Chain A
């Protein structure tokens, strides 16, 4: 089976490509990117004129809700939603139920996803047994079962010695450690950024220091353990500066930000609007701008969806009791491109943050369109204006503050290993 994608504008940051090119695919692999050689006889041609052709996106933080919360969503529903968002690989944190703390569970999740045939799932293994922050898991065996890293989910490891040993152990086998830096004492029962809005609404607050204390501690532990670490979903401008300094000193640390933290702030919460409840919380407009600058400067290499689908009732509660999280997998790409359109991010840096950079962090050969690569890619109409509505969502979770918003780009087709796994109808 030979496919030619003709006339598209290819953006492939790994190869520095940002211009018109054809892409030829034979079976599951890309055979060339550029002008088509005369002897290539495709069985199928896809006209990509006026479209962007991108490597399939790699999303570093996606909660699938399976196993354990299938009433909210399933591996099938969410990997299909991923494909509809141009995403061909997702990384899922270990805080499923049961947890991903055994090779069997990691294998089961990957196989379930492969059977569904949409986006691939790369699990993270638990960093500590039961995520209790006390004993190490069988990390090497978890890595052998396809875990691309280890993580304690949103649960802080408050015993610093355990965290140091976990990092040392992971570094022995060069397993990336995914961190969500936060000080559990300063987090307390907080639900909103500590500042003007928390004071007005009278909600328990999470100070900036809850994150920066965690970042500072973890940077010190990275330095002494040598672990390859990834700080996930940063929310504070100060954290960006701290990570930047660590990187300048040669620390092997990368960072990501959720797309909503680049677009929203505490002010969007308005009158207790639970759609905007996320952890870490939306912070100030200054933090938001510093996070954007962090992506622009390369300190934050990855933009993720931090996808958290919920059922309809989860947000129908007083703010402090409502579930946190946004169903964001289908808006990751259009919202990132909106930042490009308004000049906040250069296009190559933005696409790199969705493709090659996350792929490198998890150590998989993906996120680029080099000859020989697995043919994971998506075709995007960059001038399709459409309203994001619940009916158009594929995710089971309809908990998005972007519902009703007009988006400026739309995924038209997604290929996984040369096969079309999503095609926009109509």
Chain B
């Protein structure tokens, strides 16, 4: 039995109180989040876009690592639920000097925060925070190092379900820098839990972590083989700074082998969709003609992200203790 990084997410009666990783969440929890998100989808078009589910609650977006788009979608999601939202982009000192990550969080908690949305460059940061806060405070992981980005994976699942109608029998290919990708790890857990037929990862050996097969995926080095018959193609962002190391020899060679072009996409199923968590490196991991093409659902992912994050916040606060109003 694989030890799980999931246990801290549940309270003593088994209710979900933090959203830190997809690993270990039951399928019903995931489909419940997707169903609730579906009910929030119409809100964007309404004249009054708010529901009072989190009225009087304080949500702190605590981003120790720079991010604009993810933080913005969390902010919009929280505001549509009528929460009070504070955004903090904090540069974090390493723990040896200055205030520690836990000092920062405890200070904010002392100001009666109900929910933290946390992003940090260190794997496990959200787990650390969640396990050192009082039990009524909720934590959502908005990305921790290379470990997990579970809300991104959920919005990807939501997008797949809308486009494909479900998960049964799907073949999904994840392409690129899996080694450094928290998105890929969360996608793999979500896809396995939701029961797709096959998950593949495609990339050079320098970007595929060892023993990734233990997570139930098949590894391919060749795009034609790996994309063959795929229903969903999920591209990953390749950080340009990785190019400076010894992981990939050059942008040209990477694009020639793994950049998603219309030609390579022909190996996938004829109705395959193309996804990307953004921001896109055009001409590095994906050709503009594909990113902007008819198979691309990249902008839908962004739109869906708001409803899915509303759903996750509402799910966690629905299980919250305490009174209706907090200070």
> B-contacting residues of A (Cβ < 8 Å)?
194-203, 205, 207, 267-272, 313, 316-322
Contacts and interface: CB of A to CB of B under 8 A. Distances in A.
Given A195-B211, A202-B185, A205-B210, 8 more contacts: A196-B210, A199-B215, A201-B5, A202-B123, A270-B5, A271-B5, A316-B128, A318-B144
A194 B210 contact: yes
Contact of B214 (A194, A196, A202): A196
B277 interface: no
Interface residues of B, number: 34
Q: Which of B6, B8, B94, B124 has the most CB of A within 10 A?
A: B124
A264 B8 CA distance: 22
From A194, A267, A319, A322, name the one whose CB has the most chain B CB atoms within 10 angstroms.
A319
What DSSP secondary structure best describes chain B's contact surface? Answer: loop
Contacts of B6: 271
A150 B297 CA distance: 62
Contacts of B122: 318-321
Given A201-B147, A316-B102, A321-B95, A195 B210 contact: yes
Interface string B1-45: 011111110000000000000010000000000000000000000
B122 to A, nearest CB: 3
Interface of B: 2-8, 23, 94-95, 100-102, 120, 122-125, 127-128, 132, 144-148, 182, 185, 209-212, 214-215
In this complex, the member of A196, A199, A200, A321 whose beta carbon has the largest number of chain B beta carbons within 10 angstroms is A200
B132 to A, nearest CB: 7
A196 B148 CA distance: 15
B211 A318 contact: no
A267 B2 CA distance: 8
Contacts of A320: 122-124, 145
Contact of A271 (B8, B94, B185, B215): B8
Contacts of A205: 209-210
A194 B3 CA distance: 16
13 contacts: A199-B212, A200-B23, A200-B214, A201-B5, A271-B127, A272-B124, A272-B127, A316-B128, A316-B132, A318-B95, A318-B101, A318-B120, A319-B123
B146 A203 contact: yes
B120 A202 contact: no
B124 A199 contact: no
Given A271-B8, A317-B95, A200 B123 contact: no
Nearest to A199: B209
Nearest to A316: B102
B211 A199 contact: yes
Given A203-B145, A320-B123, A198 B128 contact: no
Nearest to B212: A199
Contact of A317 (B101, B185, B210): B101
A197 B5 CA distance: 10
A272 B120 CA distance: 15
Nearest to B20: A271
Q: Which of A199, A207, A318 has the most CB of B within 10 A?
A: A318
Contacts of A201: 5, 123-124, 147
Nearest to A314: B95
B123 A199 contact: no
A201 B147 CA distance: 5
Contact of A202 (B7, B148, B210): B148
Contacts of A202: 123, 144-148, 182, 185
Nearest to A205: B210
Contacts of A316: 100, 102, 128, 132
B262 to A, nearest CB: 32
A196 B2 CA distance: 10
A320 B92 CA distance: 14
